[in-house]
Amino acid sequence: MQLYTDFVYWLTVQPTNYLLILAIIGLLLFTVGLILGYLLQRGKTNKALRKLALAEREKAEMQQKLAAGDAEQNTLARQLVKITTEKDDTLVQLREVSGNLGKISADLRKLQATNEQLSATNQTYATTIEDLNDQVIGLKTRNEQLLKGIDGETFAPGAGATNPSPNALEALERRLRILEDRLADKPDTGGDPPVDLGKPRHRVRIGTAEVPFEGQRDDLMRIHAIGPFNQSQLNNAGVYTYRQIANWTDEDLADYAARIGYVADIMREEDWIGQARNLADSIASGAAIVEPRAPDPTDLTVIDGIDPKVAGILKEAGVKDLTTLAETPVDELRAMLEQAGEANAVHRSADWPEQAALIVADLTERSV
C-alpha cells in the first residue's frame, strides 16, 4: 500500500511531458501485450478449432459406422429370420423324409414277404406238373379205351355207365389238348408241397385223379359259386355229396380249399357248408330242389375272372361263345386283352380255356 502511495506521489511531481511520454510508453506496452496475447490465444483457438473439426469428422464417421452397423444388424436379423424359416422347413422335410423312409421300409418288408410267398408258390409247380402228368396219362388211356369201344367208363363227374357221344369225346379231346398245353408251359423244376397263401392262384392247382365213388352223386353245382370246374375239382378231391360238405369242419374247409385251388375265406363268405347242409336236409326230407339252370353257351361271364367289359372285348375279337374260348390259346387271349388296354385282366386269363372246356363238356353231357 505504501508503495502504491509513493508511486502516485512520484507521478504528481513529474512534469506533464514526462508523464505524457510514460503514458504513451504504457499504452504501447499494453498494445504490444494485447497483440501478443491475441496472437498466442489465436494459435490456441485455431488448434482447438482444428481439434473440434477433427472431432466433428470423427463424430460423422462414427455416425456413419453406427448407421452401417444398424443396417448390417438389420440385414443379419433378416438373414437370421430366413435361416430360422429354412431350418423349420428343413425339419419339416426331414420329418416327412423320415416318415416316407418308414413307409418305404414297410413296403420293402411287404415286398420281401410277397417275394417269399411267390417263391413258395413257385415250389408248387413241380407237384402241379406231376398231377398234370397223371391226368394226361389217365385221359390218354381212357381215350384209347374209347377208340377201342370199351364200355362202362366215365369221364366226368356224374356221368352214367353208357358210352359217351362223339360230342363228349370231342370235349374230352379238347380238355386233353388244354392239359398238354399247360404241361408244356410249366417249367420242369422241383419243389415242396403246395403252400396255401389265402388268395387265388393264376393257375389253379389240379388235384389227384378222381377217386372212384360207388354211391349216388349229388349235383354240387346247386351250391352257389360252384360251377363245372369247381365240381370237377371237388370230385377229384373225393367230394361227391352235399352231406360230405355239410360235415366239414373249419379245418376241413381250409384243407379242401388248398386242394382244389380255391380261397377258404371266400368259401366261408359264400357259406358252402351251410348251403350244402340245406340241400342235404332238403333231400332227406323229400323236399323238391329246383334244378339249376344250365349256363348260356354264349355267356362268357360264367368264367371266373371275366366281367361284362372283358366279355365284350373278347366277343368283338371273335370269341363269341364258350366253345370258341375253350379252343383259343392263352397267348391269343392275352394279345386281345393287351390290344384293348385290359392289362389287369391278362394275368387272370391263364385258365380261361380250361374253365370253358369243362363247362362245354358239362353242357355236352347234359344234352346226351
Q: How far apart are CA 257 and CA 127, in angstroms?
A: 16
> Using CA of residue 108, residue 111, residue 117, residue 119, what is the dihedral sign?
negative
What are the residue boundaries of the structural domains of the chain, listed by start?
A: 20-118, 196-291
pLDDT score at 254: 92
For 196-291, give the CATH class: mainly alpha
Q: The pTM is what?
A: 0.32
Quickly list H helices, the chain. 2-12, 16-122, 125-147, 166-185, 228-236, 242-246, 250-260, 264-269, 272-285, 308-316, 322-327, 330-339, 343-346, 352-367
pLDDT score at 28: 94
Neighbours of 300 (CB within 10 A): 24
Among 139, 203, 208, residue whose Cα is nearest residue 177: 139
Which residues of the chain fall short of a pLDDT of 50? 150-165, 168, 188-211, 288
pLDDT score at 58: 93
Among 156, 179, 152, residue whose Cα is nearest residue 362: 156
Q: How far apart are CA 169 and CA 132, in angstroms?
A: 19
Among 237, 352, 252, residue whose Cα is nearest residue 304: 352
pLDDT score at 250: 92
256-260 long-range contacts, Cβ below 8 Å, gap at least 24? 257/196, 258/194, 258/196, 258/205, 259/205, 259/207, 259/233, 260/204, 260/205, 260/207, 260/230, 260/233, 260/234, 260/236
Read off the pLDDT of residues 51-101 as tens digits, 9 standing for 90 and up: 999 999 999 999 999 999 999 999 999 999 999 899 898 888 888 888 888
- 228-236 vs 352-367: helix crossing angle, rounded to 10: 90
Among 171, 153, 172, residue whose Cα is nearest residue 163: 153
Please tell me what DSSP assigns to residue 48: H
Cβ distance 124 to 187 under 8 Å?
Answer: no
Cell 385221359, residue? 139
Among 230, 233, 214, residue whose Cα is nearest residue 222: 230
